[in-house]
Structure 1
Amino acid sequence: MQANVKWVDGDTFVGLSHSGHNVVFDTGSDSAAPSPMEMVLMSAGCCSSVDVVSILQKSKQNFSNLEVKLSAERAETTPRVFTKINLHFVVTGKDVSEKHLSRAISLSAEKYCSVALMLDKTVDITHSYEIVEE
């Protein structure tokens, strides 16, 4: 896998992925786009969500929405790495099995989500969930 990041102006950069997609980053206080650390956090949420959706679909769970709310803590000093991340899954559906959801999250955390598994080497990652009945 390869990628390219190019400085645009000020604190703004554009990344070009191997698959040809552009992503804007902003490292300053203007917040014209997500920061690199915000992108890492969102990437962990997306990666894990892909797994959970796939596993819930395979287990024939009747859900219409999945959202993961991410919260993170960072070190106080440089480098301001993540020290803690929580992924809180909110699944909306009809008779969604808590057992299936818990299993899907565990499989993602322990086996499938490459982003979270990479971060887990140095970050305390926790998971929580709730089911909203339709």
Structure 2
Amino acid sequence: MQANVKWVDGDTFIGRSESGHNIVFDAGSNSAAPSPMEMVLMSAGCCSSVDVVSILKKSKQDFDNVEVKLTSERAQTAPRVFTKMNLHFVVTGRNVSQKHLARAVQLSAEKYCSVALMLDKTVEITHSHEVIESEVK
């Protein structure tokens, strides 16, 4: 895998992936785009969400929405690395099994999510989850 990051102006950069996708980063205070650390946090959430959705589908759970709410703590001094991260999954659906959701989150955390597994070497990562019953269709 390869990528390129090019400085645009001020604290704004554009990353281009090998697959040809562009993403804007902002490392400063004008907040034109997510910071690199925000992107790392969201990448962990996305990577794990892909796993959870796939596993829930395979277990034939009837869900409408999967959202992961990410919280983190960072070191107070440079380098301001992540020290803690929590991925809280909220799944909305009909009769979604807490057991199946817990297993999906566990499998992602322990086996499948390469981003979180890489970060887990230096960051205390925790996971939590909840099911919200949706209206009957």
- The answer to whether the superposition gives a TM-score over 0.5 is yes
Shift of 1:16: 0.2
Q: Which runs of 5+ in 1 are unaligned?
A: none
Q: Which runs of 5+ in 2 are unaligned?
A: none
Match of 1:31 in 2: 31
> Taking structure 2 as the reference length, what is the TM-score of the superposition?
0.97
- For 1:67 and 1:18, locate their aligned partners in 2 and report how far apart those are by CA, in whole Å: 28
Shift of 1:10: 0.2
Which residue identity is paired with 2:85? I
- For 1:129 and 1:110, locate their aligned partners in 2 and report how far apart those are by CA, in whole Å: 15
Match of 1:17 in 2: 17
| Deviation by residue 1:105-126 (Cα, 9 ceiling, x = unmatched) | 0000000000000000000000
- For 2:20 and 2:125, locate their aligned partners in 1 and report how far apart those are by CA, in whole Å: 31
> Taking structure 1 as the reference length, what is the TM-score of the superposition?
1.00
Match of 2:132 in 1: 132
Match of 2:51 in 1: 51
After TM superposition, what 4+ stretches of structure 1 lie above 4 angstroms from structure 2? none
Q: Secondary structure at the match of 2:109?
A: helix
Which residue identity is paired with 1:92? T
- For 1:117 and 1:52, locate their aligned partners in 2 and report how far apart those are by CA, in whole Å: 15
Q: Secondary structure at the match of 2:121?
A: coil
Shift of 1:29: 0.3
Shift of 1:72: 0.3
Shift of 1:71: 0.2
- For 2:88 and 2:107, locate their aligned partners in 1 and report how far apart those are by CA, in whole Å: 15
Match of 1:99 in 2: 99
Q: Secondary structure at the match of 2:33?
A: coil
